[in-house]
Structure 1
Amino acid sequence: MAYAALNSTIAGLGSTATFSNVFDEVSKAAVDLNVAERLWASWYLWMQNDTIATGIMSFVMHELVYFGRSLPWIIIDAIPFFNKWKLQNTKVPTWREQWECAALVLISHCTVELPQIWLFHPIATYFGMEYGVPFPPAWKIAMQIVIFFILEDAWHYWFHRALHYGPLYKSIHKLHHTYSAPFGLAAEYASPIEVMLLGFGIVGCPIVWTLVTNDFHLVTMYLWIVLRLFQAIDAHSGYDFPWSLRHILPFWAGADHHDLHHERFIGNYASSFRWWDYCLDTEAGEAASKKRRERKLAEIRAKKAQ
């Protein structure tokens, strides 16, 4: 639906029109749209500035999802009953650690991520991103999000692994490893350079996809960001429950995968999936170390037998 057809009607309401007034007019004129699509269209028509409308919506969504998803893990950390599922159960974060982490993350969001969020709309629309209504079909949204998870995981693996190279680790990545036993809020506890570098895999993959296919919508971006934030926060939660996703999907990384990375400071570099670490022999933990030792011993015996 083109917004231009409604602009004259909305303009007739005057500069004092409320969002509710705009929504009522959109609902009368676009009965074929569902509630979410009418709310979406009303927001852009009411704001009358698409870049500002996207910027505000994106930042508010990011903060609500990040801190909203972290809140259950803060509560779980405060309840001893759940301690039996904590991977490093002798290292439960204190309230002070939680508070200091949240403060630094919020500062980072407002100083490092906010400008990137604000620039996303003009850059993405320049490359062809759509943001009108109606929304794309559910199958297309789901397909693109699966592709982004795969692409971002590859980006994250290689750049995360590079950040563990001596000088890069000391100057960039060491801050993220402040907590050897991670917790939900620590997912984006990182230096500005790391936030931008690894964040490009999250934001850059959709932009490249748009450039190549010319088939991408902002609502897909939002759903992708929400799911990726859930993944990052849950991976840093420090808890592995019997019902955790990795027990259903064996190739899913999960908290146990990333918790080992923080505990050992090496290995398990991927974000969402296990296959890069498995194929490139960078798995962390006793089981993986034992396999490597057995393989080396087998190679030594084979050489001696020749």
Structure 2
Amino acid sequence: MSSVYHDYSSFSNTTTFADAYNNFSTIEGLNPLEKLWGAYYYYIGNDIFATGLLFFCVHEFLYFGRCLPWAIIDRIPYFNKYKIQEAKIPSNKEQWECLKSVLTSHFLVEAFPIWFFHPLCQKIGIQYQVPFPSIWAMALHIAVFFVCEDAWHYWFHRGLHYGAFYKYIHKQHHRYAAPFGLAAEYAHPVEVMLLGTGTVGIPIIWCLITGQLHLFTVCIWIALRLFQAVDAHSGYEFPWSLHHFLPFWAGADHHDEHHHYFIGSYASSFRWWDFVLGTEAGPGKKEKRESKMKIKAESKKSI
């Protein structure tokens, strides 16, 4: 029996998922998502299997579901004017080769740890019972995860551009100088595990420190992180792109320059690490840095 809820004494016999949902509908104070969540775990009856199946399916559905619109846009000439590297539209062959590689990675690299995530949750105290935490608590946790993951990604991504790390690991991800949605998770298995640790490991550390985290919050965080990664690799810049409204947001233009020039713009979600440390990519940013350095050097000489 699932431990998603503490008292099943009032539940009727269950043979279908609809029956399970109706049972949770009798509990006062649960919203529709909480009822679905509870019914899912209750119907499956094995929490380890339920969490593994949930996270694997959520990852596959959201990743490829978010990639699909970009693949369609790549085939529609109207959108070429929004393409950052307009002359470099991925071919069907490139899309297909990338898809096969990503699927191989998902099933042979990422699937294994996903199926063992629930026992870890139980050990460190990540909750999965209903009801969920408040929206504000989940929003705070996700905001912290975005900031911390961005720092993790910046430093480890930057490290992967040095010597043998680039040659034998990160070079695979740079096969496409003009990225496209599917290429977000096209990477060497070592890179997948290293950078993926920032996505999964930071919530784990947060729970170990605070003792407060819900598995549903982790689901939302992973969904948003997937959307961010795919959109950053889309290769398109629109007037309504998020960074026009949130200047510190990285977006596709930030990461596209990283692929184009093979160096700089290492952060995942935000621009501040690259701005402060002078690692923004692109010739314009390079000239700006050199101009600042020249002014600084001249000011020192005049002292």
TM-score by length of 2: 0.95
Residue 54 to residue 296, structure 1, CA distance change in 2 (3 Å): same
- Aligned equivalent of 2:23: 25
The alignment partner of 1:279 has SS state of helix
Structure 2 stretches lacking a partner, 5+ long: none
The alignment partner of 1:59 has SS state of helix
Cα distance in 2 between the residues matched to 1:218 and 1:143: 15
Cα distance in 1 between the residues matched to 2:17 and 2:7: 18
- Aligned equivalent of 1:53: 50
Which range is displaced more, 93-102 or 153-162? 93-102
- Aligned equivalent of 1:221: 218
Q: How far is the alpha carbon of 1:294 from its aligned partner?
A: 1.5
Q: Structure 1 residue 262 and structure 2 residue 262: aligned?
A: no
8 A Cα contact 1:184 1:234, kept in partner: yes
Structure 2 counterpart of 1:3, from 2, 5, 29: 5
TM-score by length of 1: 0.94
Q: Structure 1 residue 142 and structure 2 residue 144: aligned?
A: no
Structure 2 counterpart of 1:90, from 87, 91, 95: 87
Letter in 2 for 1:75: I
- Aligned equivalent of 1:187: 184
Structure 1 stretches of 4+ moved >4 Å: 7-10, 302-306
- Aligned equivalent of 2:166: 169
8 A Cα contact 1:6 1:26, kept in partner: no
Alignment deviations for residues 101-142 of structure 1 (CA, whole Å, 9 cap, x no partner): 111101101111111211221112211100010111111111
The alignment partner of 2:116 has SS state of helix
Letter in 1 for 2:263: I
- Aligned equivalent of 1:178: 175
Letter in 1 for 2:22: D
Cα distance in 2 between the residues matched to 1:154 and 1:215: 22
- Aligned equivalent of 1:208: 205
Letter in 1 for 2:133: P
Cα distance in 2 between the residues matched to 1:2 and 1:165: 46
8 A Cα contact 2:4 2:41, kept in partner: no
Letter in 1 for 2:104: I
Letter in 2 for 1:26: F
Q: How far is the alpha carbon of 1:86 from its aligned partner?
A: 0.6
Q: How far is the alpha carbon of 1:4 from its aligned partner?
A: 4.3
Cα distance in 2 between the residues matched to 1:47 and 1:299: 65
Q: Structure 1 residue 230 and structure 2 residue 227: aligned?
A: yes
Cα distance in 1 between the residues matched to 2:302 and 2:213: 59
Alignment deviations for residues 160-196 of structure 1 (CA, whole Å, 9 cap, x no partner): 0000001000111000001000000100000110000
Q: Structure 1 residue 153 and structure 2 residue 150: aligned?
A: yes
8 A Cα contact 1:7 1:45, kept in partner: no
Write out aligned runs for 1:279-294 (5 A): 279-294=276-291
- Aligned equivalent of 2:100: 103
Cα distance in 2 between the residues matched to 1:45 and 1:26: 9
Residue 297 to residue 52, structure 1, CA distance change in 2 (3 Å): same
Q: How far is the alpha carbon of 1:253 from its aligned partner?
A: 0.4
Letter in 2 for 1:108: S
8 A Cα contact 2:4 2:128, kept in partner: no
Alignment deviations for residues 244-265 of structure 1 (CA, whole Å, 9 cap, x no partner): 0000000000100000000000
Alignment deviations for residues 91-110 of structure 1 (CA, whole Å, 9 cap, x no partner): 00001111111111011011
Cα distance in 1 between the residues matched to 2:33 and 2:136: 17
